[in-house]
Chains A and B, each alone.
Chain A
Amino acid sequence: KNEVEQSPQNLTAQEGEFITINCSYSVGISALHWLQQHPGGGIVSLFMLSSGKKKHGRLIATINIQEKHSSLHITASHPRDSAVYICAVRRGSQGNLIFGKGTKLSVKP
């Protein structure tokens, strides 16, 4: 079993829909990251969370440490949100990341 599991693997939405991507992990962590990988391949960090909730524009990330679960929400989705969203957890003394397989989101106009 992978240490970081994401669901769903693929997600198709209509423009304007509210989107939720889930991440569950099975190991102790010091932080959790949400990353976005553009269709061209570039990877950017969206959020780093160690507790609670963060919001940036239309993106909201939450984490429940006790349940070992995090969610990424996108409100009022737009075709430009189409990308792969990757969950990664940080653990160990060096803070190395363990990555989920990603969720491929496609938002149709």
Chain B
Amino acid sequence: QKEVEQNSGPLSVPEGAIASLNCTYSDRGSQSFFWYRQYSGKSPELIMSIYSNGDKEDGRFTAQLNKASQYVSLLIRDSQPSDSATYLCAVNTNAGKSTFGDGTTLTVKP
């Protein structure tokens, strides 16, 4: 079992819909959680960070964290074709290094 699990997708949603991306992790000592967006051939770009249970909203993005269930999610509202990318979930322990999932590929269809 990988330390950080994501559905590989592809996830396809129509433009304007809500895209829901999920991530589970195995280390209960994990403290920091991040979502990165990665376009093909490019490096990961940080879009959200979350440290406490609950929801955190930033524009069209909402991150949700449930430490008891070891679950992190990312909601993208009003999805746009430019949101089409691979979304990487990253989890940090005390050491501060990130363990990444293999990403979920999102396609937003016009």
User: Are A and B interaction partners?
Assistant: no
Q: A residues bordering B, Cβ < 8 Å?
A: none
